[in-house]
Amino acid sequence: MPPLQRAQSLFMFAKATSTLFALRLRTSGIHPEKHPIKTELERLSLYQDKLDQFVDISKEPSHRSTTLNYQAATRFI
């Protein structure tokens, strides 16, 4: 599996696990905002933003970073 797809699948697994745990806390009468799970959800939000940036970069068409000066190159041949 390519690294970007692996990162997306692991992120979704972490997001689902954290969401289910927050739901369990709510049903137990504990507000997730007053529990350490809040920092985990904030961290996942940060990683989601970073992952979205990488997905956007991977969708961009690749382009050359340099151009070749053919006249200068023929002088060396």
- Is the predicted pLDDT of residue 61 greater than 80, yes or no? no
The 3-state secondary structure of the chain reads: CCHHHHHHHHHHHHHHHHHHHHHHHHHHCCCHHHCCHHHHHHHHHHHHHHHHHHHHHHHCCCCCCCCCCHHHHHHHC
- Is the predicted pLDDT of residue 77 greater than 80, yes or no? no
Segment 14-59, tens digit of pLDDT? 999 999 999 999 999 998 888 999 999 999 999 999 999 988 888 8
Residue 9, pLDDT score: 95
Is the pTM higher than 0.75? The answer reads no
